[in-house]
Amino acid sequence: MGLGHLGSAAAQALRGLGFQVQGWSRTPKSIPGVTCHSGANGLDSFLAASEILVVLLPHTPATEGMINLTLLRKLKRDGALGSAHLINAGRGLLQVDTDILAALEQHLLATATLDVFPQESLPRESPFWQHPRVTITSHNAATSDPRFLVRNVLAQIERLERGEPLEHTIDRALGY
């Protein structure tokens, strides 16, 4: 769920491991070997085909609270794994924690692997810490290697000097 830079790379990596990959994004995308869905009209068909939901969406007003009980009910639960699984490595404000817990208790989800939370650091009293079907991962996506960062900054300066558009810019209207 999310087919930007991270989501596309994840989809291709999963495809390379032999997974049948479905993807969903706000706007239409085309990724070889990946069945792509988009927009509000494509969301339900994407969810119905998804037994493992990997969330790599940005946080925007449109995505806040999107991972809720209504959405989780639409996941595929009769596939090879026999139940639905959630992995959120996107943003914490995408998920409604109480709804994830309810989905686990109602057996709509077999497991949840969560890297992010609406409140970080996750409070000690959170039921996620002790839940037997929840895995919590530490939220540290990458280290900032100055050698890589400098190359990227220099490439952007060169693009600007050539009169080319900059890469990886933020669209303030979209929020990412």
Residues 87-104: pLDDT tens digits?
Answer: 999 999 999 999 999 999
pLDDT at 152: 83
pLDDT at 143: 67
pLDDT at 146: 84
Instruction: Based on the residue annotation, tell me whether 133 is a catalytic residue of this protein.
Output: no
Instruction: Based on the residue annotation, tell me whether 139 is a catalytic residue of this protein.
Output: yes
- Which CATH number is 5-142 given? 3.40.50.720
Ranges of the chain with pLDDT below 50: none
Residues 6+ apart with CB under 8 A from 111: 85, 86, 104, 133, 134, 135
pLDDT at 142: 62
Given the residues 139, 151, 168, 172, the one annotated as active site = 139
pLDDT at 65: 97
User: Per-domain residue ranges for the chain?
Assistant: 5-142
pLDDT at 58: 93
Given the residues 26, 37, 85, 91, the one annotated as active site = 91
pTM score, whole prediction? 0.84
pLDDT at 176: 66
pLDDT at 164: 94
